[in-house]
Amino acid sequence: MIVFPNAKINIGLNIVSKREDGFHNIESCFYPVEWEENLEIIKSNEFQFTSSGIHIPTDGGKNLCEKAYDLIAADYDISPVKIHLDKRIPIGAGLGGGSADASFCLKLINQIFELGISDQQLETYAAELGSDCPFFIKNKPKWVLGRGEIFEDIKLNLSGKFIVLVYPNIHISTKEAYSGVIPKVSLHQTKEILENSPIEEWQGKIKNDFEDGLVKKYPVFETISNQLRQAGAEYVSMTGSGSTYYGIFKEETEVDFPKDYITWKGKLQ
């Protein structure tokens, strides 16, 4: 069976406080984007994980897809599987690609083996694999709190808007990015603004707390942001801990970036 794990963007990202477990409490709107990978899982006699597309560094550990399988196999009597991931979403990009792979694996294994695991339990498993993972179980726009596992509904509908995403080939470690930010309660009521103000009024009020520090370190981010704005974007921001930027547009728009940047454009749902 094949599924298509997709990316997410953060619209606003406030890093509110440091927790005793070393993680940070955040407040952010997570919004799915249809930049997708291909992920296939079939039952097999022996376990196998293979990948194609963008090279995935192992960092000495297992792929998140293998970890997802291991997590469920520890609690349920299931046969081995063959997993193939065609990796399309840039890594270390703030797009949550690896997290989507992990959660889509959990969902697909649940389906293939007819385990009947509830979404709530899948979210609990997902939280063990990474902070961004639980979001991809339901995969709907949400206001997200805690480490990334607490969800509230948000009245925000961007369907029909166009989005341009640009990854300038700069790999940013999430851990390092968090260590460069001093947590603080946001001065703006981010959720209220997203729900009640038109998108044209968001710039300057809907902030990603990673952005100011990272722009100082990588001045090219300012160039990218300006280019998206000059192209007519209604709102421009970095997603997650970078380095991907996005612009949300009223109409389909072409923006020319250097050839070694990876770009994706499409419609929001």
Ligand X SMILES: C[C@](O)(CO)[C@H](O)COP(=O)(O)OP(=O)(O)OC[C@H]1O[C@@H](n2ccc(N)nc2=O)[C@H](O)[C@@H]1O
Annotated binding site for ATP: 90-100
User: If DSSP codes are grouped into helix, strand and coil, which group holds residue 145?
Assistant: strand
Active site residue 8: yes
Q: Of 100 and 158, which has the nearer Cβ to ligand X?
A: 100
Residues of this chain, 96-115, that bind ligand X according to CB under 6 A: 96, 99
Phi then psi for 58, rounded to 5 degrees?
A: -85, -25
Tokens of 116: 């009947």
Tokens of 132: 């961004």
For residue 76, the partner it binds in ligand ATP, ligand X, none, with Cβ less than 5 to 8 A by kind, is none
For residue 24, the partner it binds in ligand X, ligand ATP, none, with Cβ less than 5 to 8 A by kind, is ligand X
Q: Which of 101, 132, 142, 191 is catalytic?
A: 132
Active site residue 132: yes
Tokens of 53: 């597309």
Does residue 10 touch ligand X according to CB under 6 A?
A: yes
Q: Of 94 and 247, which has the nearer Cβ to ligand X?
A: 94
Tokens of 234: 């209604």
Cα 239 to Cα 236: distance, rounded to the nearest angstrom: 10
Q: For the CA atoms of the chain, what is the radius of gyration? A: 18
Q: How far is CA 72 from CA 3, 105, 128, in A?
A: 18, 10, 11
For residue 65, the partner it binds in ligand ATP, ligand X, none, with Cβ less than 5 to 8 A by kind, is ligand ATP
Sole binder of ligand X in the list 9, 26, 65, 165 (CB under 6 A) = 26
Sole binder of ligand X in the list 1, 2, 17, 23 (CB under 6 A) = 23
Q: Taking Cα atoms as reference points, which of 48, 128, 43, 33 lies closest to residue 88?
A: 33
Residues binding ligand X (CB under 6 A): 10, 13, 23-24, 26, 28, 94, 96, 99, 130-132, 147-148, 174-175, 178, 240-241
Which of the residues are catalytic?
Answer: 8, 132
